[in-house]
Chains A and B, each alone.
Chain A
Amino acid sequence: MQTKFQRWKESITATDIVMWVIGFALLVLIIFGSILTLRAGRYTPVQWFDFVIYGLAQGSIYALVAMGYTLVYGVLRMINFAHSEVFMSGPFTAYYVAAYFYRSSLLESHPVICLIIVFIVSMSISTLIAFLLERIAYRPLRNAPRLIPLITAIGASFTLMYLFRGLYGTGFQAYPVWKIFDGKWALFQGLEIGKMQLFVIFAAALVMIALYMFIQRTRIGKAVRSVSEDKEAASLMGVDIDKTISITFIIGGAAAGAAGVLYALVFKQVFFMMGFIPGIKAFTAAVLGGIGNIPGAMLGGLLLGLLESIGPALFLDGYNVVAPYQLKDAIAFLVLVLVLIFRPTGLLGERLAVKKA
């Protein structure tokens, strides 16, 4: 025990100490602010509950998109920056289907069927885009130095964004309202939960569980996991690397397409740059949870959503900060910095680090 401590003492550097001091200072600020806010008692428990639900709904969308980042990182060790456009392409295309249903008043009579069709359209478009992206932009560069696919990803992201701008125009479009999701369910003691939020949380959880099961339980999933562990060894064992990587992109694309429809159902507006911000947030979520780790991406997404929703009110209200919600991104990224200081591999990243070692 003594020797372990000594070794730890020797390996520590000045930078480490500075980072730890910054980390602790931020942590103290956050905790102190939360205590001040809670003591001021400005929000009722019902409102805190609302914050949590809004955060979970937003977070589960981030989590779905983050899965795409993390899966691709797992097999290719690259950040697929064009994933935000995969996320945009599905719902933007499905909007035209939804608008058609709305005009033909099919939406009124068969809301559930319409919803399923919109989901299918969006998921297939996103999947197709993700598949083509890998085929055209990434596969020829698979053995190139690591920086090159990264730059290609950024280029592909812009290409897709402006391709869709050319296709559908620069304007905003708004998804029609599904009447079945209007209103709220009353729980006990005045707690209410919006039907839309509930649906988003459940649908996202369902898709995530399904994809997770697919990766953990099926043969193809096993291939994906083996490629992410060691590409050469997997190919020696008879795993078709090209096919497996394609499948990874397809899974990520399907999750992004589903996330896109959920996003569009909640926020209604779709336009050609809608993927940019959720893409960055989902990437953050993936890093937060430990990139390459699928449960980590889910956890990171939910946590990020919660932070954005509760963070400004909880951490900053106590200090009487003016307009704390302008700082919600700052808070989310600050927590990312904190997590990375204390756990450089992300929240659940350790298992991956051990595996790689």
Chain B
Amino acid sequence: MKVKRAATIHDGSVYAEQLANVFAETFKKNGGTIVAQEAVAPTDTDMKPVLTKIITAKPEFIYYPIFVAAAGHITRQVKEVSGYEKVALMSADGAYSVDFYKAAGESAVGMYHSSPDFEAFGKVYEDFLQKHLKKYGEKTLAPFHAHAYDAANLIFNAIKKVAKKEKDGTLYIGRKALRDALYATKNMKGITGTINCNEYGDCADPRIAVYKTGVENIKTLVMPKKSFWKP
């Protein structure tokens, strides 16, 4: 994509604000201009005024790494504000789900999402999806299902390491011991990759890709299979 002028919208949550800021920094570093950095409230519904404000800065691209409800409103209402005919839209994993497709409808066609790279997960991941479908009768709902599975396993492993059984049968799990054991996790094989934790408790093997939504995705309410871009 060749865009020079971008705008960001966050919703005041730490997650969205940081994503927007990191995006803005990287975009500037690569020679682009950030023309507007706006914010909405996660419960806002009428985004047309803020979109009208942003269009006065003439962006070619908007990045709004926010969550389903507000992102859905923005995606729909972009079509109702004049000036946005050629502006590309991009959101993040917080709004990368079937619920978002329902909320945004056809207006989501052609927009981009940054999200975990599902193609990088490999064979184990496919099995996981099959098992999930069999057990719960529905497909996974949110983009972090694989991470949630790994996170649960992380904590189970840590609990197994530190749990002590008292004589009267109560299970004793020391809080500090549990945290230390969790933070010390190294080389755990998860679905999302090989997981190593650091001293701050960040445990992940981050692989991010960008997905583009097509007409078919909206019609059938299925997330895109192939990623649009990978680092």
Contact = CB atoms under 8 A, between A and B. Distances in A.
A324 B39 CA distance: 8
Given A267-B45, A308-B46, A325 B102 contact: no
Interface stretch (A50-58, A63-71, A84-92, A287-295): A50-58
Interface in A52-110: 54-55, 58
Interface stretch (A139-147, A171-179, A207-215, A229-237): A171-179
Interface string A290-320: 0000000000000000001110110001000
A269 B40 contact: no
Interface in B50-79: 50, 52-53, 56, 68-69, 72-73, 76
A86 to B, nearest CB: 18
A326 interface: yes
B41 A268 contact: no
A310 to B, nearest CB: 7
B45 A313 contact: no
Given A51-B52, A312-B49, A326-B40, 19 more contacts: A43-B53, A50-B48, A50-B81, A54-B49, A171-B102, A174-B103, A177-B105, A192-B82, A263-B45, A268-B103, A269-B72, A269-B73, A277-B43, A317-B53, A323-B39, A324-B53, A325-B38, A325-B40, A328-B41
A58 B44 CA distance: 12
Contact of B37 (A184, A271, A323): A323
Contacts of B76: 267-268
A50 B73 contact: no
Nearest to B8: A323
Contact of B53 (A266, A313, A329): A313
A268 B39 contact: no
Interface in B1-52: 12, 37-41, 43-46, 48-50, 52
Contacts of A173: 102
A343 interface: no
Interface residues on A, range: 35 or more
B7 to A, nearest CB: 11
B99 interface: yes
Interface of B: 12, 37-41, 43-46, 48-50, 52-53, 56, 68-69, 72-73, 76, 80-82, 99, 102-106
Most chain A Cβ neighbours within 10 Å, of B49, B52, B81, B104: B49
A269 B56 contact: no
A278 B76 CA distance: 19
B69 to A, nearest CB: 6
Contacts of B45: 263, 267, 269, 277-278
A321 B103 CA distance: 31
A348 B103 CA distance: 39
A326 B49 contact: no
A221 interface: no
